[in-house]
Amino acid sequence: MEHVQPRGHSWRHVEQLLSETKYERSVDSRIDILSRHFLGHPYKPNPLIGSAGTAELFTASLDGFDCVTYIETIVALARASDVDDFTRWLRKIRYERGRVEWEWRNHYMALWIRNNIREGIIRPISMLTVRTVDTERVLNVVPGLAARRVRVKCVPKPAAPRLEPYLQTGDLIFFVSTCRNLDVFHAGIIVRDGKKVLMRHASRSQGFVVEQQLRDFVKANRMTGVIVVRPQREKQRIAVS
């Protein structure tokens, strides 16, 4: 696949971050360090460039994020061995088959999750004692994209506190919308601090990347339920295709 240089990122900043985490053996510890680094960075609505009528530009700004680009950036950095590797992983995470075109961007998180599981970047986690529910959605909130019917499996909101024993630092959590035409309305990164389960996320309401107790976020927000996936633990040191 052709190597595409992203717009907006600082090579020196990426090199610094990779240098700080190069001796961390586990992807969860790298995600912890990297996600902490960006606490306090500004929330940026609609940080990506492209639409049905505008050419897609591959961007990788480290100056600010929405909830999805925050997660994508951290996971790509955690898997990367050098700057070029970071941009390859980011492209692979953000776009189906790594193809930098607006139509191939993982606009909906149900597809983001599905495609990144297929790529071996994340995996579902087993929670045998926590029940899940299936909900059907017709996704149609992105102008220019054809409506798409999907089934979303999630842990219902009342059962979310029972997830905590299963959660690990580095897990990615997605919050399922109550709207019938949307799958997920927000996402974050889990961090364990002893018995406390925290979430780091780019918060629109607070205006920057924050850390808060997961239970507080769940309690304060309407949602159908939550989805949790886990980044693969083995760091990939070979260049992705």
In this prediction the pTM is: 0.93
CATH number assigned to the domain comprising residue 91: 1.10.3670.10
**Does residue 51 lie within any of the structural domains?**
yes
pLDDT per residue as tens digits for the range 84-128: 999 999 999 999 999 999 999 999 999 999 999 999 999 998 877
Structure-block tokens of residue 23:
């001796």
Q: Are residues 127 and 225 in the same domain?
A: yes
Average pLDDT, the chain: 92
In this prediction, residue 2 carries a pLDDT of 47
Last residue of a domain, one of 72, 97, 120: 120
**Does residue 4 lie within any of the structural domains?**
no
Last residue of a domain, one of 120, 137, 157: 120
Q: Are residues 148 and 56 in the same domain?
A: no
**Does residue 241 lie within any of the structural domains?**
no
Domain interval for residue 47: 11-120
Q: Are residues 109 and 148 in the same domain?
A: no
Last residue of a domain, one of 82, 98, 120: 120
**Does residue 67 lie within any of the structural domains?**
yes
Cα pseudo-dihedral 96, 70, 221, 197, rounded to 10: 110
Mean pLDDT, range 47-65, rounded to an integer: 95
Q: Are residues 156 and 187 in the same domain?
A: yes
Q: Are residues 99 and 52 in the same domain?
A: yes
CATH number assigned to the domain comprising residue 188: 2.30.260.10
**Does residue 3 lie within any of the structural domains?**
no
Q: Are residues 177 and 219 in the same domain?
A: yes
Distances from the Cα of 163 to the Cαs of 130, 155, 157, 192, 196, in angstroms? 7, 8, 10, 13, 12
**Does residue 6 lie within any of the structural domains?**
no
Contacts 24+ apart (CB under 8 A), 29-35: 29/169, 29/170, 30/77, 30/78, 30/235, 31/74, 31/75, 31/78, 31/169, 31/170, 31/189, 31/231, 32/169, 32/170, 32/191, 34/74, 34/77, 34/78, 35/70, 35/74, 35/189, 35/191, 35/200
**Does residue 104 lie within any of the structural domains?**
yes
pLDDT per residue as tens digits for the range 160-203: 999 999 999 999 999 999 999 999 999 999 999 988 999 999 99
Q: Are residues 104 and 67 in the same domain?
A: yes
Q: Are residues 63 and 146 in the same domain?
A: no
Q: Are residues 104 and 145 in the same domain?
A: no
Q: Are residues 110 and 134 in the same domain?
A: no
* pLDDT for 234 beyond 80: no
Q: Are residues 89 and 135 in the same domain?
A: no
Q: Are residues 227 and 131 in the same domain?
A: yes
Q: Cα(145)–Cα(93) distance, rounded to whole angstroms?
A: 20
**Does residue 238 lie within any of the structural domains?**
no
- Based on the structure, what is the number of domains in the chain? 2
pLDDT per residue as tens digits for the range 133-159: 999 999 999 999 999 999 999 999 999
